[in-house]
């Protein structure tokens, strides 16, 4: 059986090959977040590749949508209807692998992302929907609505005003089924971010009422797994 490192590297290789073939794209997020994605999708994400519209599936949102080859690689490797030929058509007109994930084009893509901050805001909406439906339909011993919403986001998402508003609301509403992963790599398309992004992000989210797990090594599968387990254990706050 392949090791975790080999599985994560499969994501990286598919992503960088597709970007290279297209001569266009953003390889940074797939390179940096492959280990986190491998642990999440293999050990935690509740989904069914043969039934992508299963109502009680977990939701996964790639808010930093320019890193779209990350989700395309995951969908291909997980058995969704996305072939290696589809990956070879990355960023080509009318392909199933457009430059940013687009709802309706690709099976397994939950929402269109690209404008930074919009993905995490959509994820907040999905978590609100889950909480509302669970309150309406669940009964003791019969949790017919019981799923998590997971979201990957980068520094650019954190800079957008819409993400501030949505994340503040998530804390206020106590969306305990919402788990977000911030790719704190300190780099953007314009270079190192310290010249224009100096927020104390963990403190900001604590002030919103979030459960914050800081300083997780995103390349250590055991640390990633422990962080996700801790996030799932906190049911009264988003993490």
DSSP string for residues in the chain: ---HHHHHHHHHHHHHHHHHHHT----HHHHHHHHHHHHIIIII----TT-TT-TTPPEEEESSGGGTHHHHHHHHHHT-S--HHHHHTTT-TT-SS-SS--TTTSTT--S---STTHHHHHHHHHHHHHHHHHHHH-BTTB-SS---EEEEE-HHHHHSHHHHHHHHHHHHHT-TTEEEEE---SEETTEEGGGT----HHHHHHHHT--------TT-HHHHHHHHHHHHH--SS--
Instruction: Domain 4-233: give its CATH code.
Output: 3.40.50.970
For 72, the token pair is: 């395309």
For 214, the token pair is: 């800081």
Does the pTM of the predicted model rise above 0.85?
Answer: yes
Kindly report, residue by residue over 44-84, the tens digit of the pLDDT.
Answer: 999 999 999 999 999 999 999 999 999 999 999 999 999 99
Kindly report, residue by residue over 209-237, the tens digit of the pLDDT.
Answer: 999 999 999 999 999 999 999 999 999 99
Kindly report, residue by residue over 133-144, the tens digit of the pLDDT.
Answer: 999 999 999 999
């Amino acid at each position: 059986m392949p090791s975790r490192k080999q599985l994560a590297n499969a994501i990286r290789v598919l992503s960088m090959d597709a970007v290279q073939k297209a001569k266009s794209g953003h390889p940074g997020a797939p390179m940096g977040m492959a280990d986190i994605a491998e642990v999440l999708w293999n050990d935690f994400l509740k989904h069914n590749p043969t039934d992508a519209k299963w109502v009680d599936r977990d939701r996964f949102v790639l808010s930093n949508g320019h890193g779209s080859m990350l989700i395309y690689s995951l969908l291909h490797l997980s058995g969704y209807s996305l072939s290696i030929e589809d990956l070879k058509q990355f960023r080509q007109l009318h392909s199933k692998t457009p430059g940013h994930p687009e709802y309706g084009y690709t099976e397994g893509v939950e929402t269109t992302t690209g404008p930074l901050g919009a993905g995490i805001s959509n994820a907040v909406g999905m978590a609100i929907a889950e909480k509302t439906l669970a309150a309406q339909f669940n009964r003791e011993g019969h949790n017919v609505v019981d799923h998590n919403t997971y979201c990957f986001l980068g520094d650019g998402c954190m800079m957008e005003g819409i993400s501030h508003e949505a994340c503040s609301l998530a804390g206020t509403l106590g969306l305990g089924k919402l788990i977000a992963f911030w790719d704190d790599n300190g780099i953007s398309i314009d270079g190192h971010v310290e010249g224009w992004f100096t927020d104390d992000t963990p403190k900001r989210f604590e002030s919103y009422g979030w459960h914050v797990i800081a300083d997780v090594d995103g390349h250590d599968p055991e640390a990633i797994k422990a962080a996700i387990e801790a996030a799932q254990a906190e049911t009264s706050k988003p993490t």
